Amino acid sequence: MGPLNDKTIIVTGASSGFGEAIAIACAAEGARVSLVARRVAALERVAADIRATGGLALVCPADVSDDDQVYAAVEKTREAFGSIDILVNNAGVNIPQRSIEETEPEQWRKLLEVNLTSAFVFTRAVLPAMKARGDGLIINIASRAAMVPNLRAGVAYSTSKIGMEALNDIINLEGNAVGVRACIVNPGAGNTPIMDLRPVHISHEERMKMIQSEDIAATVVYLAKLPKRVNVNLISMLPTQR
């Protein structure tokens, strides 16, 4: 039994990168973990890794830009595990085009649907029950681009992460009085598959200096372990060597 025993956690974008590491780390602490992403085979692999060490994992394939699939994933989680204690809005994408001129409107819309609108819809799906229960935690994995928009991250990505920061603030305004908390985690450069889309190649040595998936996972576990009287509303992270 771990400190997160009997907690049910939904992790979006759980098939790789930060999301995979978060799911595995939370399961290792005793949580029941619902894995959400599009790639079924990748989710099954993560679930198998969790189950191999005695953890509980549920595979919930979903396109997070589709509202119906989001609500279906939340309902499937409730049916399997009961009340949802923690939601980790981690799903995110970027595109190679970073400037306003290069970014097509359709690319902009799709990126915001995945990075921001999905976080809103997942939150909307779990928040009423959390309020009614008087307990719940929503962790929004964003980016330092929410604090310092930049062309390296791109116009669409930076905008989506600023939007997530506003969403996080509103969750706290609505939820704190009844025991619901939200924290936005803003990592700087992180060694995830998104880095493959950077216009300029990043060497292995440079990537090893970045924030790693296990660092974000440890941060999420720390937040999940805090008593509900404590609300950490923002964590800003930077690589030490940058």
Is 187 a domain residue? yes
Count of structural domains within the chain = 1
Is 188 a domain residue? yes
Residue-level pLDDT at 188: 87
Beta-carbon contacts of 66 under 8 Å, excluding residues fewer than 6 positions away, are: none
Is 15 a domain residue? yes
Is 28 a domain residue? yes
Containing domain of residue 44, as a range? Answer: 8-237
Residue-level pLDDT at 3: 87
Residue-level pLDDT at 1: 57
Contact in structure between 86 and 122 (CB atoms under 8 Å): no
Residue-level pLDDT at 205: 75
pLDDT averaged per 10 residues, the chain (length 242): 89 96 98 98 98 97 98 98 98 95 98 98 98 98 94 95 98 98 92 65 75 96 97 95 76
Is 3 a domain residue? no
* Cα 14 from Cα 31, distance rounded (Å): 15
Active site residue 157: yes
Query: Residues, the chain, total?
Result: 242
Gyration radius of the chain's alpha carbons: 17
Residue-level pLDDT at 196: 64
Is 2 a domain residue? no
Residue-level pLDDT at 191: 77
Residue-level pLDDT at 235: 98
C-alpha torsion sign, points 39, 43, 44, 46: positive
Which of 91, 157, 167, 212 is an active site residue?
157
Q: How many beta carbons lie within 10 A of that of residue 194, not counting itself?
A: 18
Residue-level pLDDT at 241: 81
The closest of 34, 93, 23, 78 to 59, measured between CA atoms, is 34
Is 26 a domain residue? yes
Is 242 a domain residue? no
pTM for this one? 0.94
* Cα 179 from Cα 141, distance rounded (Å): 21
Residue-level pLDDT at 193: 66
Residue-level pLDDT at 34: 98
Residue-level pLDDT at 207: 72
Which CATH number is 197's domain given?
3.40.50.720
